[in-house]
Structure 1
Amino acid sequence: MKSNEVLRKSLGNLGVKSVAADLGLSTSLIYKWCQPSDTEDASGAENPLDRIAKVYRLTGDKGPIEWLCREADGYFVENVQPGDSDAIPLLHMTRRIVREFSDLLDVLTESIENDGVIDLPEAGKIRNEWEKLKSSAESFVNACEQGLYDAAEGDDHE
């Protein structure tokens, strides 16, 4: 789905006039955000989603995207690039996920056994291990979606 379509769908419930008023912007600008802007004959305007994507492409910094995810009470999980996981056999990938989960449990156990409280630095360690686990699991799911573990075709890399 294109950014203008995402915005159009998102604004549908509340209405363009209401959003424009709350943002202190003209309704015509909001309408232009909801139109395509990626072709020469398009009448749309570069919208905030396009601008955030451009900031990422220019800087390579995922900070603004991660911040946006936190604002939505979520977390950014990076997709593994194709090819990163295709050389990892199924059994090794499964072990990696279990190992990452074990590392998370180790950090949790250490935090609790220390003083019965998880303080902010310990929460940071837990977050770090959780992000590693999510990334490993995403790598696995991505490889499955690419058909890399299709045993019927002999592509299970074992």
Structure 2
Amino acid sequence: MKSHQVVKACFDKQSPKQIAEDIGVSVSLLYKWSQPVGETQSGAINPLDRAVQLNSVAPDNEVLHWLCQQADGVFIRDPESAARAYRYMPATNDIVRQFAALLSEITQAALDNRITEQEATAIRQLWDRLKAYTEGFVTACEEGNFAQIRGLPLPEPPTDSGEPSPSGIDCR
């Protein structure tokens, strides 16, 4: 879906006049945002397009992370499953292993009945890695590329050396 279509879809739930009033812009500008932009189109670059532009120059998708936080969510980049080394059984075992590592981290952090900022950060990092890895696996399943998955080399398991594994997955 294009950004102008997203803006226009907002009109299904609320009147353009009310939306314009709520966000402090004119109705005509709101309508311009809901139209395609181009030489032969009369639309105007909308805030969604600007957010994408700003994110392209921000380090580490900070704009997207912030936007997701404002919507009570988190941003996780979709992995390119074909480029990942997934094999069905080892990947499912790795997901279980990573989940166990997450639960272990949570258990260790909660032993004193409080969780420090550093412990919360470590838990968040493990959770985000688990979600990203699992999303890649689920995407590979949805694409049905099991033949391709079986033909790819399996990533090295994580080490306990403190260094992330070559696959980027750290199960400490």
Same fold, TM-score > 0.5, yes or no: yes
Cα 1:90–1:105 shift into 2, 3 Å: same
In the alignment, residue 125 of structure 1 is paired with which amino acid? A
How far off its partner does 1:97 sit?
A: 1.0
SS at match of 2:60: coil
Cα 1:88–1:156 shift into 2, 3 Å: closer
In the alignment, residue 40 of structure 1 is paired with which amino acid? E
How far off its partner does 1:13 sit?
A: 1.7
Structure 2: where are the runs of 5+ without partners?
152-172
Q: In angstroms, what is the RMSD of aligned CA positions? A: 1.8
SS at match of 1:157: helix
Map residues 27-42 of structure 1 onto 2, 5 A cutoff.
27-37=27-37, 39-42=38-41
In the alignment, residue 72 of structure 1 is paired with which amino acid? A
- 1:68 matched residue in structure 2: 67
Give the TM-score taking structure 2 as reference length: 0.79
Give the TM-score taking structure 1 as reference length: 0.86
Cα 1:20–1:68 shift into 2, 3 Å: same
Deviation digits for residues 49-92 of structure 1, max 9, x if unmatched? Answer: 1111112233453111111111111111210025322x322122
SS at match of 1:106: helix
Runs of 4+ aligned structure 1 residues displaced above 3 Å come to 58-61
- 2:104 matched residue in structure 1: 106
Is residue 23 from structure 1 mapped to residue 23 from structure 2 by the alignment?
yes
How far off its partner does 1:35 sit?
A: 0.6
Q: Distance in 1 between matches of 2:134 and 2:88?
A: 12
Deviation digits for residues 95-151 of structure 1, max 9, x if unmatched? Answer: 2211210110111110112x12223222221111110110111010111122222xx
Q: Percent identity?
A: 38
Cα 1:155–1:24 shift into 2, 3 Å: closer
In the alignment, residue 144 of structure 1 is paired with which amino acid? C
Is residue 146 from structure 1 mapped to residue 146 from structure 2 by the alignment?
no
SS at match of 1:25: coil
Is residue 117 from structure 1 mapped to residue 110 from structure 2 by the alignment?
no
